[in-house]
Structure 1
């Protein structure tokens, strides 16, 4: 899978309410900045994403300008994304125009420990999601 396909698959997993933490590198220095949180280290990222999945539903993720620069072992991406969801605890709907950016690294899988572009996976080393323009949509 390419770095671009990994980002697109992440968006689709978010829409489907599937676990998102497997997309991140299991490292102490991995980071994810979200609209309302800063998660540092794989344990915090995984716990934060589990909580997000547990407390939200009905995700809309509309990519508008995905750009990916892929090199042999590293990639960077940026995108303008409309995202909306329902908070299941407060029953509140949220709708934002956001900007996404991040870095990925290509790594061999457990099934094929030798580096092979056909079977390697891309994992996020860092992701930043911020609200664009004036914030939440009406």
Structure 2
């Protein structure tokens, strides 16, 4: 799977409520910054993503400007995107919607046809407060 396909596959897994931790490097220094949080280390990220999946639903993830650099060899790649992002928090009974900015570094794993990419860092931010619907 290419670096571009990895990013798009992550978006699709998020929409479907599928497990997300396999997309991240299994290292203590991997970092994921979300709209409301910053998490460091694979174990902490995996737990945070499981909790997110358990407490959210109805995800909208619409890529607007995905750009991916995928170098040859063992060099890391990067991505950046503008994403329309929305979801429903089932515990707070609140819906959120953001125009977000995503960026990150991807590391290659494996060679040839078995080559895959995982996130070493992911940063998701929003330029303003979310539109919420407290139902």
**Cα deviation, residue 120, structure 1:** 1.4
Structure 1 residues 32-71: aligned runs within 5 Å: 32-71=32-71
Q: Distance in 2 between matches of 1:97 and 1:137?
A: 10
Structure 2 residue aligned with 1:78: 80
Dislocated runs of 4+, deviation >2 Å: none
Q: Is the 8 A contact 1:97 1:135 kept in 2?
A: no
In the TM superposition, what is the alpha-carbon distance from 1:117 to its structure 2 partner? 2.6
Task: Tell me how far 1:135 sits from its aligned partner.
Answer: 2.7
| Secondary structure of the structure 2 residue equivalent to 1:118 | helix
Task: Count residues in correspondence.
Answer: 130
Q: Is contact 1:97–1:137 with CA below 8 Å preserved after alignment?
A: no
Counterpart Cα distance in 1 of 2:61 and 2:31: 21
**Alignment partner, residue 137 of structure 1:** 131
The equivalent residue for 1:111 is none
Q: Distance in 2 between matches of 1:9 and 1:36?
A: 23
Residue 4 of structure 1 deviates from its aligned partner by 0.2
What is residue 103 of structure 1 aligned with on the other side? Answer: 105
CA distance in 2, matches of 1:80, 1:12: 15
Task: Choose the corresponding residue for 1:118, options 106, 113, 123.
Answer: 113
Residues 25 and 125, structure 1, Cα contact 8 Å, conserved in 2: yes
What SS does structure 1 have at the residue aligned with 2:129? Answer: strand
The TM-score normalised by the length of structure 1 is: 0.91
Query: Alpha carbon RMSD of aligned pairs, Å?
Result: 1.0
* Cα distance between partner residues in 2 of 1:90 and 1:45: 21
Extract unaligned runs of 5+ from structure 1. 109-115
Structure 1 residue 121 displacement after superposition: 1.1
